[in-house]
């Protein structure tokens, strides 16, 4: 069936794409994933470095929640995103997950 999508990249793209377009996000996404290739690397990043890379995307609460979420995933889940919708909803900045992105998220557990 092919490779499963990388949860970190799916999550990062979903957060970045809120309130904007793929064209506006593309370069930011590439810079983020080059500088912080894993959720653990992002979790270890300095706040100012992440905010600096985010500059220009707007809605800076997304960047603050991005860091909070990365740090929870790294600290509480050992750098692995929860594989259930309920587990994902408990992460900072995610909340209720709209139905359309669910097929793109590599969930393995049952729905809540």
> pLDDT per position in the chain (112 positions), as tens?
456 778 899 889 988 988 888 999 999 999 999 999 999 999 999 999 999 999 998 888 889 999 999 999 999 999 998 878 788 888 888 766 554 454 455 554 444 4
Instruction: Report if residue 100 sits inside a domain.
Output: yes
The whole-angstrom separation of Cα 77 and Cα 48 is: 24
User: What does the pLDDT read at residue 103?
Assistant: 44
Instruction: Report if residue 110 sits inside a domain.
Output: no
Active site residue 46: no
Instruction: Report if residue 1 sits inside a domain.
Output: no
User: What does the pLDDT read at residue 100?
Assistant: 46
Instruction: Report if residue 63 sits inside a domain.
Output: yes
User: What does the pLDDT read at residue 7?
Assistant: 87
User: What does the pLDDT read at residue 93?
Assistant: 82
- Answer whether 88's CB lies under 8 Å from 82's CB: yes
| Catalytic choice (14, 46, 53, 85) | 14
CATH number for the domain spanning 69: value is 1.10.340.30
Instruction: Report if residue 112 sits inside a domain.
Output: no
User: What does the pLDDT read at residue 32?
Assistant: 96
User: What does the pLDDT read at residue 87?
Assistant: 83
What residue numbers bound the domain in which 12 lies?
Answer: 7-104
- Answer whether 87's CB lies under 8 Å from 110's CB: no
Split into its structural domains, the chain has a count of 1
Instruction: Report if residue 16 sits inside a domain.
Output: yes
Backbone angles phi, psi at 95, to 5 degrees: 65, -155
Instruction: Report if residue 109 sits inside a domain.
Output: no
pTM, 2 dp = 0.81
Instruction: Report if residue 2 sits inside a domain.
Output: no
Backbone angles phi, psi at 7, to 5 degrees: -55, -35
């Amino acid at each position: 069936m092919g490779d499963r999508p990388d949860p970190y990249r799916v999550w990062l793209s979903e957060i970045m794409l809120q309130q904007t377009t793929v064209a506006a996000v593309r370069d930011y996404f590439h810079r983020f994933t080059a500088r912080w290739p894993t959720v653990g690397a992002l979790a270890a990043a300095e706040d100012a470095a992440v905010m600096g890379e985010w500059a220009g995307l707007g809605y800076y609460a997304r960047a603050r929640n991005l860091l909070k979420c990365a740090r929870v995933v790294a600290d509480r889940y050992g750098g692995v995103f929860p594989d259930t919708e309920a587990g994902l909803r408990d992460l900072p900045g995610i909340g209720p997950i709209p139905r359309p992105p669910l097929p793109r998220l590599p969930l393995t557990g049952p729905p809540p």
